Amino acid sequence: MFPAKPPLWILVAVTATGPLALNLFIPSMPGLVSEFGADYATVQLTLTLYLAGVAVGQLVYGPLSDRFGRRPVLLLGLVAFVGAGVLAAVALSVEWLILGRVLQGVGGCAGMVLSRAIIRDVYDRDSAASALAYVTMAMAVAPAMGPAIGGLIDGFYGWRFGFVVVVAFGALALLGTWWRLPETNKTPIERIDVSGMLKTYGRLLRSVPFLGYSMNTALSICAFFSLLAGAPYVMIEILGHEPHVYGFYFVMVSCGYICGNFVAGLISKRLGVDRMIPLGVAVSTIGASAILGFSLAGIVSAEVIFFPFMVVAIGNGISQANGIAGAISVDPKVAGAASGLLGFMQMTIGGLGTILVGYFQDQTGHSAMAWMIFIATVLSFGAYWIAVTSSRPTGPSLHPAGAD
């Protein structure tokens, strides 16, 4: 017998699969250059194309879950995640590793997109923001420890064992979902109409509030992915730190994000989405400005990267859940599709950030990352401003008047 509402621990676990697979692997990336005899740009594709897999996958899972239900589609994604992890663990070339990472991203994004839709199925707009904040706060514990654990695993057992850990976690999430997750989509659509789906995406993209809220969250994630793209190179190749040192510094970032999510969980329902977002962005801007200032002054160290970005992460924790709640509340009847399109935008913009950091990276490895973090944070406020100053702040319905 399933519970009336989905247990939070299941939503935490399925949401954590994708971020855990992402963060556990990051400290191992520089070492793969010698492992496979590849250049760093090729190795970085294990990050960039993982994000591409996450982006494209989310466009598929949302509409599928609107038609067939959240539960079966989530189970399918978790099966794919586990299988792809096995493929990556036994990869004998960088090309096979990249393929495994792409498929792992496609499978891992199921939990990320469908947990948002599940929460929106059972909560109203502002309550959804609080629930999302608590879930992402708890979920952040796994990515917080991911780089530290990944660095230790890489140092003692090699990078392949990291994939074994991720596969085991994914298998546990799969079993928990099969055992305890109820179906929350009580009004599935009658059929998947590809033409209709594209039109729904088109209407969402023409909805100024949806676009504004979505770009706000996507740009704040771009700041985070810019750190992921630049910091390992700076820490390991430029400053000469071991992978586990990078991992331990990264814990500060995730702890900051957890604190921001905790604040959002406490006060989002009282203050509302449109007050919480600018509060979070303002905090993030302080940290982003400090990172850029140190970079322009020619100061490069672990402390001037991670302490200021912890402030950025606090702000992102405050704003992210509220931006997501605003975006997927534009039309609750297509919450799955909205969540999928939102996720696609987040990963696409985030992936673009990693490409730009890699392309413009100089010998310090710091300035391109610093500029991307700052620009993305400032633009995220512009996106929020567009959302709330549109003529219909909560967004136009995507259905004809009178439709229920």
Residue found by looking up tokens 């100024």 in the block: 208
**3-state SS, residue 258:** helix
Average pLDDT (235-248) is 82
**Within 13 Å of residue 17, how many CA atoms lie on the same side as its CB?**
41
Tell me what pLDDT residue 103 has. Answer: 96
Q: What is the pLDDT of residue 144?
A: 63
Contact between 281 and 377 under an 8 Å Cβ cutoff? The reply is: yes
Q: What are the pLDDT digits (tens) for 375-392?
A: 999 999 999 998 888 744
Burial category of 191 from C-beta neighbours within 10 Å (exposed 0-12, middle 13-18, buried 19 and up): exposed
Q: Which residue has the higher pLDDT, 90 or 233?
A: 90
3-state class of 230 per DSSP?
helix
Helix axes 367-388, 335-360, angle to 10 degrees: 150
In angstroms, the Cα distances linking 339 to 217, 221, 226, 251, 310 are: 12, 15, 23, 28, 27
CA-nearest of 80, 64, 65, 335 to 183 is 65
Interval 45-63: pLDDT, tens: 898 899 889 888 878 888 8
3-state helix, strand, coil in the chain (%, to 5): 80, 0, 20
- How confident is the model at residue 363, as a pLDDT? 55
Give the span between the Cα atoms of 14 and 7, in whole angstroms: 11
For residue 253, what are its two tokens? 């970032």
